[in-house]
Amino acid sequence: MADVTYNGVNLNDTTGLFITSLTGLSPINTINTSSIAGYDGATYISEQMQMRNITVTLLLKSVEDKQLVYDTFKIKKTGIFQYDDKKIECKVESIDIPTYQKPIQAFVSLLCPQPYFTAIEPNTKLMSAVAPLFRFPFHFNGAFKFSERMASVIENFVNDSSVEVYPIIEFVAKTSLENPSIMNINTYEKAKVNISMNAGDKVIIDTRKGYKNITLIRNGVESDIFNLKADDFRFFKLYVGDNYLKYDADVNPGGLQTTIKWESLYGGV
In the chain, domain spans: 4-115, 123-266
CB–CB of 129/153 below 8 Å? Answer: yes
Of 244, 269, 267, nearest in space to 28 by CA:
267
Q: For residue 221, what is the enclosing H or E element?
A: strand 221-224
Looking only at the bridges linking them, the beta strands covering 256-262 and 168-173 are: antiparallel
- Indicate the DSSP class of residue 72: H
Say if domain 123-266 classifies as CATH 2.60.40.420.
no
Q: Is the pLDDT of residue 121 over 80?
A: yes
Task: Report the b/e string of 62-74 with b at 16+ CB within 10 A.
Answer: eeebbebbeebbe
> What's the rounded Cα separation, in Å, for the pair 82 and 86?
6
Q: Which is higher by pLDDT, 258 or 29?
A: 258
pLDDT band with cut points at 50, 70 and 90 for residue 136: low
- In this predicted structure, the answer to whether residue 202 has a pLDDT above a threshold of 90 is yes
When the pLDDT of each residue in the chain is averaged and rounded to a whole number, the result is: 89
Residue 153 has pLDDT above 50, yes or no: yes
| pLDDT(187) > 70 | yes
Is 228 within 8 Å of 168 (Cβ atoms)? no
Top-confidence residue, 15 or 47: 47
CB-based burial of residue 227 (10 Å sphere; 0-12 exposed, 13-18 middle, 19+ buried)? exposed
Q: Note whether 69 and 58 are within 8 A (CB).
A: yes
Query: For residues 179, 180, 184 and 189, what is the CA-based torsion angle, rounded to 10 degrees?
Result: -30
Of all residues in the chain, the percent with pLDDT exceeding 90 is 71
Write out the DSSP string of 27-71.
--EEEEEE--TTSSS-EEEEEEEPPEEEEEEEEESSGGGHHHHHH
Say whether 123-266 and 4-115 share the same fold. Answer: no
| pLDDT tens-place string over residues 212-248 | 999 999 999 999 999 999 999 999 899 999 999 999 9
| pLDDT band (50, 70, 90) for residue 132 | very low
Q: Quote the CA–CA distance of 190 and 248 in Å, as a whole number.
A: 10
The answer to whether 133 and 237 are in contact (CB under 8 A) is: no
Q: What percent of the chain has pLDDT over 70?
A: 89
Type of residue numbered 17: L
What is the average pLDDT across 143-157? 64
Binned at pLDDT 50, 70 and 90, residue 62 comes out as: confident
CATH topology of domain 4-115: Elongation Factor Tu (Ef-tu); domain 3 (2.40.30)
Q: Quick check: 198 and 217 in contact, CB under 8 A?
A: no
What's the pLDDT at 162?
A: 87
Q: Compute the distance between CA of residue 49 and CA of residue 67 in angstroms, rounded to an integer.
A: 34
CA 102 from chain center: how many Å?
Answer: 42
Longest dimension (CA), the chain: 87
